[in-house]
Chain A
């Protein structure tokens, strides 16, 4: 068994809800129904009904982007150390509720209980790995530039703003944290579109974010049909970047074209291996570089 994150059980800021039969969306720190009131059935690997999930559409996208934009100034300006603390708390809540995640993952995906345990542990480790980057990415990504003339110049990474993150369809929990964490660790806020097959894991994860008291709006989670939700995000003028991990090829091409309308930064990797150490590229993809020039005394 993997080394657990905490040696003592912590008391979450708010208990995670145990079992919902009708799941909701996660927008601005609250758990609203879809604006249309629509839901869809979530089936297990054996075809049995597991629960109902909210079926999000354009209005929910709009609300989620508004919430993400509202959260951006405070989250992006927070000290890297403080963002790191907030993200470590999420990892602790996940770890505390390890058994719940394992059961949910196993019920949703099938496979063996051991495989489910291993994926939950890997997801906690992945989230913890990214959390530590919050106060380090600036040093790795930034530069001090040697220029001609009496000027000091530095180039610093800055978050692009609101990111739309399409969670991978096939990797229910590890894939989800592997695309969400790199977007928000540097100060972006996110609208996450859950895997169509595994929305319950995404909503379980949203419960963990709420229980860990991650500031409202930093992450917003939509469940439903990717082909219905994602075009709204790709065309949205107040979304600054889009990660296409969860879009199948032809849809991803369409979304990339729509994203050009306001020059969203498009994050697109081919055949990612979610179990491999991630590297830095996914974090870099939602960072801008700002250069600041200061005159120096010349003699």
Chain B
């Protein structure tokens, strides 16, 4: 099957999809017992058939990872692991244009985001972590002379659909750099870039079994996360599933990192540059779609600036273009799946029923595919579900505040604590707010930036552990005491 994407900037290049993909286990694609179809959420067109991983498949994947861990990967000098990671990074770079197109097709994200944000970041994660592979002894852990940086073993990784390849890079690059082997289950709706990544592992000559990709639905994810043969679980997804995984990990004595999202907040102070704040919020929330886990943004505006900010945001939202994810001029792509579209429609309806005022950008959406227009809610109370729950799609809820003490308390009163933005030119004010917000990342006069050198992760029920930077290595090394249990 071939796809034209004439207006995308990679010009004449094409992507090549196989009609059907097996599971990537022990260095080769193997067939499974049943298949499902992955579609383009923008057109509902079938892109490929993908294999449903079963219990036996996950067993095979874990066994291959264990063998690779014991025979090759954990024994390999760090400098050699680094070379494999550099090869992968290089191959990702060479195939970046094709991977961006594939990601946009399968996930519905606009090509500008996949090409200019997700791919460069994913590549950067492999380069960054390649450099750690032979320097772990210098990472400054434990302050203990006897400490040698040992890997954990076989890692089960289950990731979400919002930034599929980027999340894969977040999970696989540090795991491999630290000497672990991996069984990764990509999201049911976005398996294709993970399967392309499997090809890249083979092209890079990565020893068989070091990376295994098992596709499938939520059940396959449970099989990977709950497999008795793995030593550590890393999960990105919903808080509900995350807590179940945490319970099972506690029971089995497995190490655990969780990245569960939750709501994020933007605070706009009265003295903020309103145009810059409006631009940053629209850009950070709708266009970058952050990571989608930073996307459901609650905006708190200091009362005197409320009307101006709402008007400025509305003006910029009106200029957003929804449409073909492969078109360079598209700002907003398709919702990732029908289920997520139903979820957001339901929450929007509930918000309106509760008295929130909805404003969506004018214009029509395509007949086919899953679409939801950029939407802002005002007159939202902190108790509304739309203000408290993680959404699968960027929606702004805008409310007023009077004092900084009040706004910090309101934001901190949720069970989550992933990310926040603060808009004010007054550095004493932004420092005051940033110090008090219970959130893993605070962007001052900016929103949604990510970098492989930066630890990312949530407070409270937004997650457990950090990914990225020096801190992120801890999730993949056998350090005492900081995991769920030492086993």
Contacts and interface: CB of A to CB of B under 8 A. Distances in A.
A and B from one complex: yes
B404 interface: no
B434 A292 contact: yes
Contact of B471 (A269, A280, A289): A289
A145 B440 contact: no
Nearest to A155: B455
A263 B464 contact: yes
Interface in A154-200: 155, 158, 160
A160 B458 CA distance: 11
A260 B481 CA distance: 16
Contacts of A236: none
Given A257-B247, A263-B246, A285-B482, A145 B446 contact: no
Contacts of A288: 440, 459
10 contacts: A145-B469, A148-B124, A149-B449, A253-B250, A263-B246, A263-B260, A268-B484, A270-B486, A289-B466, A291-B456
B26 interface: no
Contacts of B410: none
Interface of A: 77, 140, 143, 145-149, 151, 153, 155, 158, 160, 240, 253, 256-257, 259-263, 265-270, 279-282, 284-285, 288-295
B250 A262 contact: no
A166 B435 CA distance: 30
Interface in B195-235: none
B481 A263 contact: no
B142 A262 contact: no
Contacts of B449: 147, 149, 151, 293
Among B250, B260, B464, B466, the most chain A Cβ lie within 10 Å of the Cβ of B250
B440 A151 contact: no
A281 B444 CA distance: 31
Contacts of B485: 256, 266, 268
B38 to A, nearest CB: 31
Interface in B454-481: 454-457, 459-461, 463-464, 466, 469-471, 479-481
Interface of B: 124, 142-144, 242-243, 246-247, 249-251, 253, 258, 260, 415, 434-435, 439-446, 449, 451, 453-457, 459-461, 463-464, 466, 469-471, 479-486
Given A155-B454, A289-B466, A268 B481 contact: yes
A155 B464 contact: no
A78 to B, nearest CB: 13
A284 B434 contact: no
B451 A153 contact: yes
B331 to A, nearest CB: 21
Contacts of B470: 143
A262 B466 contact: no
Given A155-B454, A253-B250, A290-B439, A262 B415 contact: yes
